[in-house]
Amino acid sequence: MQLHNHVRKEFRMNVHRYTIEDGIIEYYHFLSKHDRLYYYKYFEKHLNWYQDSIKMFGKKHKIPRLQAWYADTDKDYSYSGIKLKNNDWDEKLLEIKSKIENQTQLSFNSVLANLYRDGADSNGWHSDDEKELGRNPVIASLSLGEPRFFHLRRKADRKNKQKILLENGSLLVMKGAMQHFWQHQIAKTKKQKKARINLTFRYII
């Protein structure tokens, strides 16, 4: 895990806690080898994956990944002009949600799942700052499958960048004012990559 530029690091048990300027990141070695493989295979097969489109410069473009939205009834979510299709909770998603809530002592009522099929699939620079998430949202992001770099940059100084390798079975939690002051992305890469599933648990107010 690579974070620099006046980042304070704490370590306790299986969690790294990083306090960066105007934000907090916690990184857990979360799932066992068996569970990583089991949940990856299950979610790849059973979630209702689809490829949405985004409108840019008057034209529609398919987003470079598959996604699926699961949430409590009436917990809708939109970003970048995309209104996500709500699915009823899958039992294994609820199982994972409970594990994450027990670990973090937080509560979530929704999850945005992303499937990155290869290195060409990506998610551009953005902040999770939609009004549905409230003022200082907490995002808990579980990674399954191929490790990918998670890039961060400070909005007021885009040269201030950090990166974290999201390992298979890891859990990254963003807290505090992160979404106000930082953007993040999963960048495209020309390197050959296998598929990765990312489950980003949220609380919709």
Residue 149 lies in a domain: yes
CATH of the domain at 154: 2.60.120.590
Residues in the chain: 205
The per-residue pLDDT for 4 is: 47
Mean pLDDT by 10 residues, the chain (205 residues): 49 71 93 97 98 81 96 92 92 98 96 98 97 95 98 95 95 96 97 97 96
The per-residue pLDDT for 5 is: 44
Tokens read off for 135: 């003022």
**201 in helix, strand or coil?**
strand
Residue-range definition of the domain harbouring residue 70: 8-46+65-202
Residue 3 lies in a domain: no
Residue 2 lies in a domain: no
Residue 176 lies in a domain: yes
Residue 51 lies in a domain: no
The per-residue pLDDT for 39 is: 98
How many domains is the chain built from?
1
Residue 39 lies in a domain: yes
In angstroms, how far is the first alpha carbon of the chain from the final one?
Answer: 32
Over the stretch 106-144, which tens digit does the pLDDT of each residue have? Answer: 999 999 999 999 999 999 999 999 999 999 999 999 999
The per-residue pLDDT for 80 is: 85
